[in-house]
Amino acid sequence: MYKNKNKIRKSKLILVSLLVISFIFANFFIISTLEVKADDEVEEIEQDISELNEAIEDRRRDIDTLQKEIDAYAAEIKTKQKEARGLSNQIAILDNQITKVNLDMESTEAKIQQTKLEIKKTNLEIQNIEDKIKDNKEKIGEYLRLIYKNDQVSYLEVLLVNENFSDFFDQIKYTQNIHQDLKNSLTKLNINKNDLEVQKTNWEQKAELEQKLKDELQQQKSELTEKNTAQEILLVQARLTEKQYQNYQYQLQLEQQQINSELSSLEKSVREKMEERDVKERFEGFGPARLAWPVSPARGITAYFHDPDYPFRYIFEHPGVDVRAYQGTPIQAPESGYVARVKFAGNTSYAYVMIVHNDGLSTVFGHVSRVYVKEDQFVTKGETVALTGGMPGTTGAGNLSTGPHLHFEVRLNGIPVNPLEYLPAI
């Protein structure tokens, strides 16, 4: 009876020993298989990433080459701007500006391609990290499955089936290593998850950059169209006889002087009217002048105050800023005030609205295509006063407009000043 019990005990210990050994070999096999699989997938993804890095570097070199050309044309434009004003000089400046804008567009296209490649690379890096997370999860799952499957094996039973303490401690050490590997896998999993969050943030930032570059490219295309229109206007003038050209230039300069003189005299008369009791009380109720943008500047400014790049600078200095806006965009009063002048004939001649505000300020809106206010009318801040225009040949555009926009002036005591000094920063 005792011998049978001993036999059963020994058989059980042999079975336990086999289970432990199978656990060790199975665990080793699983780890090896997972690591080989992971290594192959990682190597393939890393090869793709390496190729993308080379393509990105090629785009970067292209961009650097284009930038050198752009800088050269920018320097040439500055040189021409220092020369004496004249039609031929302005045409030469426009030629260089058109070439520069084309190069800017080409450079932006290259930047978009580079960003797309970087987004693709980031996606591969995300995939790589996700694969690592998956592998770590599988490894942890197998660890736990085998550990809990064999958790009935006690150290006493392992000791009994081993011939000496050395074998016993080797198995104890191996079991400790298994637990340490499990801990390391969990640590790697957390690191991989953090890396994944960083890569996803990078992807979002690159996607935003790509959209910003696309918007910039669209603005450059609009700028090119406007400069081509300006060049066409100048080339038409260049084909006139000297006498015809001198007369045409004189008429344009006279028109601008008349507008400026009219606005200055209106400013003075309105300020005098503001001393009348009822008008004065109304203006005092408006409070200090704090100008807002009459249209959104989000699409960019195409010409600045006294801009050296202004295509008609040979005729007059640009007295305001040109804000790119779609044809027919509502123009809102930048501050409460009094409508001093509405010049709108309903034809293609230059049309504008002037509003007088407190603190010696007045504002002018040019190239308007439609008007919603009348002279001698008070308006409140944010009220729609007109619609933008500027498309050549349309109502209110005038002779010197190259595309849809708002010409916006700010005057201090009748004298044009830089509007950007009175408006919120873009």
Q: Are residues 205 and 302 in the same domain?
A: no
Question: Closest Cα to residue 110, out of 52, 64, 50, 72?
Answer: 64
pLDDT for residue 171: 54
192/324 same-domain check = no
What CA–CA distance (Å, rounded) separates 260 from 315?
Answer: 14
Last residue of a domain, one of 203, 236, 269: 236
Number of domains in the chain: 2
- 191: confidence class by pLDDT, cuts 50, 70, 90: confident
Rounded to whole angstroms, the Cα distance separating 15 from 12 reads 5
Cα–Cα nearest to 365, from 293, 415, 308, 317: 293
Tokens of 301: 């400014």
- Residue 309 near residue 272, CB atoms below 8 Å: no
pLDDT digits (tens, 9 = 90+) for 123-134: 888 787 777 777
Indicate whether 42 and 180 sit together in one domain.
yes
Round the average pLDDT of the chain to a whole number and report it.
78
Mean pLDDT value across residues 308-318: 83
Asked whether the beta carbons of 77 and 172 are under 8 A apart, the reply is no
The verdict on residue 85 lying in a domain is yes
Full residue range of the structural domain in which residue 168 is found: 2-236
CA–CA separation, 250 and 240 (whole Å): 14
Confidence of residue 287 (pLDDT cuts 50, 70, 90): confident
Q: Supply the DSSP symbol for 420.
A: G
Query: Residue 237 pLDDT more than 90?
Result: no
Domain assignment of residue 426, yes or no: no
Q: What are phi and psi of 109, to 5 degrees?
A: -60, -45
- Looking at the structure, do residues 170 and 254 belong to the same domain, yes or no? no
87 against 230, higher pLDDT: 230
What's the confidence (pLDDT) of residue 168? 47
Whole-number Å distance between alpha carbons of 94 and 75 = 13
Same domain, 110 and 141: yes
Query: Of 241-250, 252-261, 327-336, 352-361, which has the strongest mean pLDDT?
Result: 327-336
8 Å CB contact between 402 and 303: no
Q: Is the pLDDT of residue 234 over 70?
A: yes
pLDDT given for residue 152 in this prediction: 47
Position 48 in a domain: yes
What would the mean pLDDT of 354-373 be, rounded to a whole number?
A: 94
pLDDT mean over 363-381: 95
Q: Are 302 and 226 in contact (CB under 8 A)?
A: yes
More confident residue, 167 or 110: 110
User: Percent of the chain scored above 70 by pLDDT?
Assistant: 74
Of 147, 150, 144, the C-alpha closest to 17 is 150
Q: In the listed set 219, 236, 253, which residue is the last one of a domain according to the structure?
A: 236
253 and 284 housed in the same domain? yes
The sign of the CA dihedral 319, 323, 329, 335 is: negative
pLDDT band at residue 397, thresholds of 50, 70 and 90?
very high
Q: Residue 15 and residue 300: Cα distance in Å, rounded?
A: 81
Given a cut of 50, is residue 250 above it in pLDDT? yes
Which CATH number goes with the domain that contains 315?
2.70.70.10
Name beta bridge partners: 371. 386
- Read off the pLDDT band of 230 (50, 70, 90): confident
Query: Of 187, 208, 236, which closes a domain?
Result: 236
If asked whether residues 331 and 215 sit together in one domain, one would say: no
Tell me what pLDDT residue 177 has. 62
Question: 341 - beta bridge partners?
Answer: 354
Q: Is residue 347 domain-resident?
A: yes
Given phi > 0 = left and psi -120 to 50 = alpha, else beta, which region is 363? beta
Residues 29 and 166 in one domain: yes
Is 258 part of a structural domain of the chain? yes
Whether 322 and 225 map to the same domain: the answer is no
- Alpha helix positions (H), 239-322: 242-273, 277-286
Task: Give yes or no: residues 296 and 399 share one domain.
Answer: yes
Percent of the chain with pLDDT over 90: 24
pLDDT in tens, 96-106: 888 888 888 88
Task: Examine the pLDDT at 242 and tell me if it is beyond 70.
Answer: no
Do both 201 and 288 map to the same domain? no
Which of 349, 300, 307 is closest to 325 using CA atoms? Answer: 300
Which residue, among 133, 116, 115, 114, has the nearest Cα to 197 in the 3D structure? Answer: 133
Which uninterrupted H or E stretch holds 324? strand 321-324
- Please report whether residue 365 resides in a domain: yes
Judgement on whether residues 175 and 249 belong to the same structural domain of the protein: no
Q: Would you say residue 35 has pLDDT above 90?
A: no
